[in-house]
Amino acid sequence: FWFLLGRRRRRQGEPPLENGFLPYLGCALQFGANPLEFLREKKKKHGHIFTCQVAGKYIHFLTDPFSYHALIRQGKHLDWKKFHFATSAKAFGHGSIDPAEGNTTENFHQTFIRTLQGNALNALTEAMMENLQYVMLQSRTSKLQSNTWVTEGLYTFCCQVMFESGFLTLFGKEFNSNSEKNLSSKQETERAHILNALENFKEFDRIFPALVAGLPIHLFKSAHSAREKLGEALLHKNLQKRDNLSELVTLRMFLNDTLSTFDDMEKAKTHVAVLWASQANTIPATFWTLLYLLKSPEAMRAATKEVQSILESAGEKISLDGKHISLNRKQLDSMPVLDSVIKEAMRLSSASMTFRVAKEDFTLHLENDSYNIRRDDIVALYPQLLHFDPEIYADPLTFKYDRFLNENGEEKTDFYRNGRKLKHYYMPFGTGIAKCPGRLFAVHEIKQFLALIFSYFEIELADNHVQCPPLDQSRAGLGILQPTNDIDFRYRLKCL
C-alpha cells in the first residue's frame, strides 16, 4: 500500500517517519507555512530526531544542539556539495559547477575562502569603507542638500546603500569617481546602472524560494528576464570595462576562462550567484541591526559610544569636507558591543538551514543513540530552534543588545542547555565545512555602515512606538529573513 502511494515505510533502526498527508508533497505545505512551529510540534511528538517526507525527499531533522557536531564528525558519509551545486545551477542558470560533471575543475569553495578571508579581506574592507561613504554622502547628495530631514523606508534605505556599496566593492566602478565632489553625468549614469541592477536583483530574489523548491524559472517571466539582465551586466566583456574589480571577481573570471567550458552567459551567471550570496543576507541583517538599535535607546547609546571611542583612538576626525574616515580590520575587530548587537539582531532574524546528503547507507551515531540513514536522504539542522530556545536564550523573542557580552564587556561564549555548555549556540552563517566564507566581511560591512551612520547622520524612527515587522516566513531556510513590511525613519546630515 505504501509502496503504491510512492511512500516509504519506516524500517527498524530508522528515525520516526512523518510521510505527511499529501501524496508527493508530504509535509511540504505544513513545513512551508511555519517551519519553526512544525518542527517544534514534531519534536514534541517524536523526540530529538525524526524524518519528514518533503516533496519526494526524506529529510532527517536533528533538533538536539548536542547532536549538531555529529554532522561534522561523520562528514565522510555526508556530502555538502551536491545539494549546494545543484541548487546554485537551478537558481542561477549556470551549468553544473561540480568538478565531477566535467564543466569546470575550479574548486569554488577554495576560491571563496582565498578571496574573502586572510589578506584579501583587508582590501575588500578598505574598498567597502570608501564606497559606503561615497554612496551615503556623494551618490545620494540630491536628497541631502539642505539640512532638513529626509523620511524614507528603513529597508529601502539599507537595501540601496548596501547594494550600491557592495556592488561597487565586488565589481568595481565604470570609472574612478570617488575624487569628484559633485555628481557628474557619468556618475549619475553609473548610479542609474547600479540601481537598475538592484531592481533586477529584487525581482529575481522575490522568486528565489520557488526556484530552490524546484520550480522552473520559465514560470516567472519578469524574474527570468531580470536574471538575464543581471547576467548581461556581469558578462566578462562588460566587467573588463570596470576599474577596481575585487580579487574575488578577478580570480573567478580567470578561473572561468581557464578551467571551465562555460559559455559567456554561464560564466556571467556564476557572477550573479556571487552577487546574490553577497547581498541577499547582508541587506536584511543590516536592516534588523539598525532597526533594533533605533528601538532600543540603551543599545544605541552603548553602540555609538563604542564607535566614538574607536574613532578617537584611531585619530579619525569626522567632517564633510570630502576627507573620508577609515577604520582598519583590527579596529573593526575590536568592537564587542557592535558584535553583540549584530549577533542578537541576526539571532532574531535568521532562519538558515544546514543540509547534508547521505552518500551511502550508514549509521548516524548521536550522543546516546544511533539511527540508520539511507543513501540520498538528507540530514538537516534548523538552527532557529536553537536561537529561539528559552533555555538557552531567556526571553528569546526579546532583543537584548548585550546578550553576547560577558561581565567584562567581552565576547560571551558560554551558553548552556540542561546545565551543559553548548558548542553550537549561534549559527546564522551555517556550520562545518560549508560555513559562509563571507562571514567576516559581512560583519565588517555592517559595522562600517553603522559607524558611518552614527558619524554623519542624525537618525530616528518616524514613529518611536512602531512594532517590529514580522519575519517573512516564505524565505525560511534561506538565511536572514526579510521584514514583511518596511518601517519609516528620518535622517539628516549632522552639523559638523
Instruction: List residues near ligand HEM by CB under 6 A.
Output: 84, 108-109, 112, 116, 277-278, 281-282, 285, 352, 354, 428-430, 434-438, 441-442, 479-480
Closer residue to ligand HEM (CB): 32 or 479: 479
The secondary structure of residue 95, as a DSSP letter, is -
End-to-end CA distance of the chain: 76
Give the nearest distance from C-beta 184 to ligand HEM in angstroms.
Answer: 29
Give the nearest distance from C-beta 22 to ligand HEM in angstroms.
Answer: 28
Query: Bridge partners of 489?
Result: 152, 461
Closer residue to ligand HEM (CB): 108 or 220: 108
User: Is there a contact between 431 and 354 (Cβ–Cβ < 8 Å)?
Assistant: yes
Closer residue to ligand HEM (CB): 125 or 354: 354
Query: Bridge partners of 53?
Result: 58
Closer residue to ligand HEM (CB): 121 or 235: 121
Give the nearest distance from C-beta 283 to ligand HEM in angstroms.
Answer: 9
Give the nearest distance from C-beta 79 to ligand HEM in angstroms.
Answer: 12
Give the nearest distance from C-beta 288 to ligand HEM in angstroms.
Answer: 10
Closer residue to ligand HEM (CB): 155 or 429: 429
Give the nearest distance from C-beta 313 to ligand HEM in angstroms.
Answer: 27
Closer residue to ligand HEM (CB): 10 or 435: 435
Query: Bridge partners of 60?
Result: 51, 379
Q: How many of the other CB atoms lie within 10 Å of CB of 365?
A: 13
Q: Which residues contact 467 (CB under 8 A, 6 or more apart)?
A: none
Closer residue to ligand HEM (CB): 442 or 493: 442
Closer residue to ligand HEM (CB): 15 or 430: 430
Give the nearest distance from C-beta 88 to ligand HEM in angstroms.
Answer: 8
Closer residue to ligand HEM (CB): 187 or 278: 278
Give the nearest distance from C-beta 73 to ligand HEM in angstroms.
Answer: 16
Give the nearest distance from C-beta 77 to ligand HEM in angstroms.
Answer: 17
Residue nearest to ligand HEM (CB): 438
Give the nearest distance from C-beta 417 to ligand HEM in angstroms.
Answer: 22
Q: Tell the residue number behind the cell numbers 580567470, with chain if given.
A: 254
**C-alpha span between 229 and 244 (Å, rounded):** 22
Q: Is 407 helix (H, G, I), strand (E, B) or coil?
A: coil
Q: Which amino acid is at 98?
A: D
Closer residue to ligand HEM (CB): 136 or 345: 345
**C-alpha span between 169 and 123 (Å, rounded):** 9
